[in-house]
Amino acid sequence: MDIEQLRQWMEMAQKYQNGNFWDTIFDQYMGANHQNTGATYHNTGPTERSDQGDERESQTANVSAEFPLTDIFLTETEIIVIIELPGLRKEDIRLSLSGNILLIKGMSKIPVISGSSFLNERKYGAFERNIELPEPADSKDIRAKFDNGLLFVTYERKYSQHEEITIL
């Protein structure tokens, strides 16, 4: 193996080091698949510069094609879930909780526009998504606020200390 092949192998190994091997493979496949349709898909996530000076994509880049898109943030005191619901009203969505699974359901309606569709990228119709929360919560402790197409779901973090268990 010559030096150039070794360098290429090392770059590939570093690319898949973050544990998202299959996601990256499917993203490459989806990008190649959509090249012939006229649609373009770019990973627009932030980049980081490593110690070696090369740029690589941050792990915060969006690899999910699920709807609605969701971000989850952990602070010292609370967990914040932001769910993107463009064009919907709070009356169009329902939230429920089971353990650490937040279920969001809703209906996205086609705006009343006369004429035929030339390009249709937005999702319409019923949707449902299970979002795994990083820590369990009680439904009575969750606060939800809908503002400008964003649903903010927050709850306080519960810290549990390790307790000694006697082994019999």
pLDDT tens series, the chain, 168 aa: 577 777 776 776 666 655 555 555 555 444 444 433 333 333 334 444 444 444 444 344 434 468 899 999 999 899 999 999 999 999 999 999 998 999 999 999 888 778 888 888 888 899 999 999 999 899 999 999 999 999 999 999 987 666 788 898
How high is the pLDDT of residue 22? 54
How high is the pLDDT of residue 26? 53
How high is the pLDDT of residue 32? 43
CA gap 56, 33 in Å, rounded? 23
How high is the pLDDT of residue 116? 82
How high is the pLDDT of residue 118? 84
Tell whether pTM > 0.75. no
CATH code: domain 70-112+123-156 is 2.60.40.790
How high is the pLDDT of residue 151? 97
Give CATH 2.60.40.790 domain extents, the chain.
Answer: 70-112+123-156
Long-range pairs for 74-78: beta carbons < 8 A, 24 or more residues apart: 74/134, 74/157, 75/157, 76/157, 77/156, 77/157, 78/154, 78/155, 78/156, 78/157
